[in-house]
Amino acid sequence: MDFYKYHGTGNDFIILDCRGRVPFLSPREIEELCRRHTGIGADGIIFASDSSTGAEAEMRLFNADGSEAEMSGNGIRCLAKYLFEREGISKEEMLIDTRAGAKAIKLEVAEGRVSNIEVDMGIPDFTGNAGETSILLDSGEELRAICLSMGNPHCVIFVNDVGAAEVERLGPLVETHSFFPARTNVEFAQVASRERLLLRVWERGVGETDACGTGSCAAFAAAINRGLAGKMMVIGLKGGELKIKVDDYGHLHLAGPAVEVFAGELSRYWRGQE
């Protein structure tokens, strides 16, 4: 079984090409492959599947705990780079289907290599959660947050110092709070200026990650909601920077790099088979 390892600003994924066949790993096997010490190691696994709509591919995304996610802004950039450089889909504009709908992608290419990828992430959905929400924890702590969807759920908490934010303690408490029946991604955001935001993300089903594309878009949208941002922001994350802009129709456009780390073949013994 061939695999490819990619990352987008430190948010890393295993890509398995399943076009012509259905994804074939169980949640337990996905969890095992994503383990850092006994597997390949990743924040999640992307299955490149056949599209039924005419798109270049469909992205099926699974978190490190084996649960399926709707969308990843970093993951879809990695998949687009894979399709262009490894699979010969030499289009500088692509469509990739996701559980959050089809996403339009533009690739910047130089000498046959993809240097930057921009994704139309769509319109943030504040339905039912516009403005601020109060999250009451079992400890009695009350957190003020802005909740929204970027095709997947997000809870944005603004902080004065993102470096001092209690991500490891508060992240899992908010992720699994009863307010979020499908769990949620949690963003801890510090607005440095109207053009720059610092961010740490506790990803649903993963833990704290070096970057999150949908989380960056959610934090930008929440900053706009609060009147703290203009039409473009640079998002500073542990793994690097992402750029987001909003167009005249309210769509957010996420731009950043994707990097192929290595390719390999899983041993036939990894599942304990002869």
pLDDT tens digit sequence for 12-26: 999 999 987 766 789
Which whole-number Å values give the CA distances from 227 to 53, 126, 135, 222, 230, in the listed order? Answer: 38, 15, 22, 9, 8
Mean pLDDT confidence for 244-257: 98
User: Confidence band (pLDDT; 50, 70, 90) for 6?
Assistant: very high
Q: What's the pTM value of the predicted model, to 2 decimals? A: 0.95
Please tell me whether 36 is known to bind a ligand: no
Q: Is the pLDDT of residue 130 over 90?
A: no
The one catalytic residue in 18, 34, 212, 217 is 212
pLDDT tens digit sequence for 173-211: 999 999 999 999 999 999 999 999 999 999 999 999 999
d(CA 205, CA 212): 13
Please tell me whether 214 is known to bind a ligand: yes
User: Confidence band (pLDDT; 50, 70, 90) for 274?
Assistant: very low
Which residue in this structure is represented by tokens 């289009």? 91
Q: Is the pLDDT of residue 231 over 90?
A: yes
In the residue annotation, 78 being an active-site residue is answered as no
Which whole-number Å values give the CA distances from 136 to 102, 142, 156, 173, 185, in the listed order? Answer: 35, 5, 15, 10, 17
How far the first Cα of the chain sits from its last, in Å, is 15
Mean pLDDT confidence for 89-101: 96
Q: Is the pLDDT of residue 170 over 70?
A: yes
d(CA 89, CA 217): 27
**Mean pLDDT across the chain:** 94
d(CA 162, CA 166): 9
Please tell me whether 272 is known to bind a ligand: no
* Whole-number percent of the chain with pLDDT over 90: 89
Which residue in this structure is represented by tokens 């599942």? 271
Domains of the chain, start order: 2-121+257-265 (3.10.310.10), 132-250 (3.10.310.10)
Q: Is the pLDDT of residue 89 over 70?
A: yes
Please tell me whether 116 is known to bind a ligand: no
